[in-house]
Amino acid sequence: MINSDRLWRTLQELSEIGRYHDEKSGLFGVNRLALTDADAEGRRRVRRWFEEAGLEVRVDRIGNVIGRRRGLDDALAPVMSGSHIDSVPTGGAFDGALGVLGALEVVRSLNDAGTATRRPIEIAFFTDEEGARFGTDMLGSAVAVGRLPLATALALTDHEGKSVESELSRIGFLGTHPERLSPPHAYVEVHVEQGPVLDAAAMELGVVTGVQAISWRELTITGRSAHAGTTPMRLRRDAGLAAARIDVKLDEMARSGRYGPEMRATMGRLEVWPGRVNVVPSRVIATADLRNPSDEGMARAEADLDAFLTSLAAELGVEIRWRQTAKTAHVPFSPAIQAVITRHVSALTPRWQPILSGAGHDAQELAAICPTAMVFVPGLYEGISHNPREYSTPEACARGVEVLGRAVVELANQ
Ligand code: GLV
Ligand code: MN
Ligand code: MN
């Protein structure tokens, strides 16, 4: 039902906003960190496309932008789809954008065909899914479903102390519409897999069974600055050494298999003060990102990490404080929506498999208020993502969006 050329063109057009040249790979990536000028330009462009597609557009108080296509029975709960258009600083053209522009393509195709649906259809882009600027992922969708209070989200700050509220206001996306969504009839999202599983198995589509547990912490380690040449090793309180030991510990924990075979751990931020060659570091801010399909494995890993931080602080004479910046349990998706997606997937290709998502998605928030599931398209180059090399073919994108369209129409006629 969809127009794959138009989908591809639209994906390319959005990827030009926030585009940057990666010297190392020679490729162009996307940097549309949430609520920056680039994100604002992307938002304006996609909002315009929503409006041109005849959607009634609203912006809520956390900056989520939702476009509504009326249903024949417009009082019924809508079928919803969407994703995000913010990116990490080293992003690609597909993460999030495929879900938003895929949903837009579905609406455009329905318009072209003059097809009406019984229920309204709403498509959205949610604020700061990545969490890469303000530290908490799925920010807009978490507020929309009531998991995170609006005031807490608006008060979050970036590294420079700029708040979500002031940045939303600055870019003109601090909306007035109430942020809480009334439960949709169903939510379906298409996304690039962002991992190697589908590509390695030569699969053309994935039916997503759920999202694994996520735990983010921000660590503040305080030691004592000292002279690198004169201070004996036994007299140091080296915050940098503590951070390095924690990073090594995280890697060891994830590789050990003790917390299940699929645990992952990453220290993605590591800032050292004063950051000079001849000064023992006095302070470090670092992050720990833990993922696990098993909530039980996650809980044990968190408890063991706590114990390690306590003993390391005593051993090195540093203070280690931490706060939880994001935490979600394993989210299973609706078997009924998976069944709808599976039917449309298998009509297109025998090459598909069920898959658990390794990345976080807005769909996992929507799953708290309505039956939800996702469809994945494979990415090339071992599914690399959060990297300019992120790539999915036009055919793969079209296949995923075709499934999205058929599932949305089926659900919107229920
Ligand atoms: C979002 O992309 C995440 O899983 O960190
Ligand atoms: Mn994403
Ligand atoms: Mn991402």
- Cα(232) to ligand 2 centroid in Å equals 47
Q: Which atom from ligand 1 is nearest to the alpha carbon of 96?
A: 2
How much of the chain, in percent, has pLDDT values that exceed 70? Answer: 100
| Ligand 1 atom nearest residue 291's Cα | 4
Instruction: Give residues with Cβ within 8 angstroms of 332, minimum separation 6.
Output: 209, 210, 367
Tokens of 405: 């369209």
Q: What is the rounded CA–CA span in Å between residue 286 and residue 245?
A: 12
Which of 133, 137, 264, when mutated, tests ligand 1's pocket best, judged by the most ligand atoms within 8 Å of its CB?
A: 137
The predicted pLDDT at position 88 comes to 98
Q: Residue 293: pLDDT band by 50, 70, 90 thresholds? A: very high
Contacts of 183 (CB under 8 A, 6+ apart): 77, 369, 370
138 falls in which pLDDT band (50, 70, 90)?
A: very high
Q: Which residue has the tokens 């989200």?
A: 153
d(CA 9, CA 21): 20
- Return d(Cα 121, Cα 79) in angstroms, integer: 5
pLDDT confidence of residue 24: 87
Gap between the Cα atoms of 400 and 308, Å rounded: 44
**Terminal Cα-to-Cα distance of the chain (whole angstroms):** 19
For residue 270, give the 3-state DSSP assignment: strand
Nearest atom, ligand 1, residue 289 CA: 5
Q: Do the Cβ atoms of 82 and 100 come closer than 8 Å?
A: yes
Asked if omega into 149 is within 30° of 0 (cis), the reply is no
Nearest to 158 by CA among 277, 39, 327: 39
Percent of the chain having pLDDT more than 90? 99
For the segment 247-268, what is each residue's pLDDT rounded down to a tens digit? 999 999 999 999 999 999 999 9
- The best mutation among 130, 327, 356, 362 to test binding of ligand 1, ranked by most ligand atoms within 8 Å of the C-beta, falls on 130
Tokens 């940045």 label which residue? Answer: 167
Rounded to the nearest 5°, which phi and psi values hold at 80? Answer: -120, 150
Token pair 């690399």: residue: 384
Please give the distance, rounded to the nearest whole angstrom, from the Cα atom of residue 151 to the centre of ligand 3.
Answer: 24
292: confidence class by pLDDT, cuts 50, 70, 90: very high
For the stretch 105-137, pLDDT in tens is: 999 999 999 999 999 999 999 999 999 999 999
User: From the CB of 193, is ligand 1 less than 6 Å away?
Assistant: no
DSSP H helices, 317-389, are: 335-348, 362-366
Atom of ligand 1 nearest to the CA of 359: 4
Sort residue 54 into left (φ over 0), alpha (ψ -120 to 50) or beta.
left
Question: What tens digit of pLDDT does each residue of 50-77 get?
Answer: 999 999 999 999 999 999 999 999 999 9
Q: How far is the CA of 304 from the centre of ligand 2 (A)?
A: 29
25 band by pLDDT with thresholds 50, 70 and 90: confident
Mean pLDDT of 175-179: 98
Q: What pLDDT, in 10s, does the model give residues 208-231?
A: 999 999 999 999 999 999 999 999
pLDDT above 90 for 325: yes
Atom of ligand 1 nearest to the CA of 95: 2
Instruction: Give the mutation target among 361, 365, 374, 376 for probing the ligand 1 site: most ligand atoms within 8 A of CB.
Output: 361
Q: Does ligand 1 come within 6 angstroms of the Cβ of 359? A: yes
| Angle, CA 358 vertex, CA 344 and CA 92 arms, to 5° | 85
Average pLDDT, the chain: 98
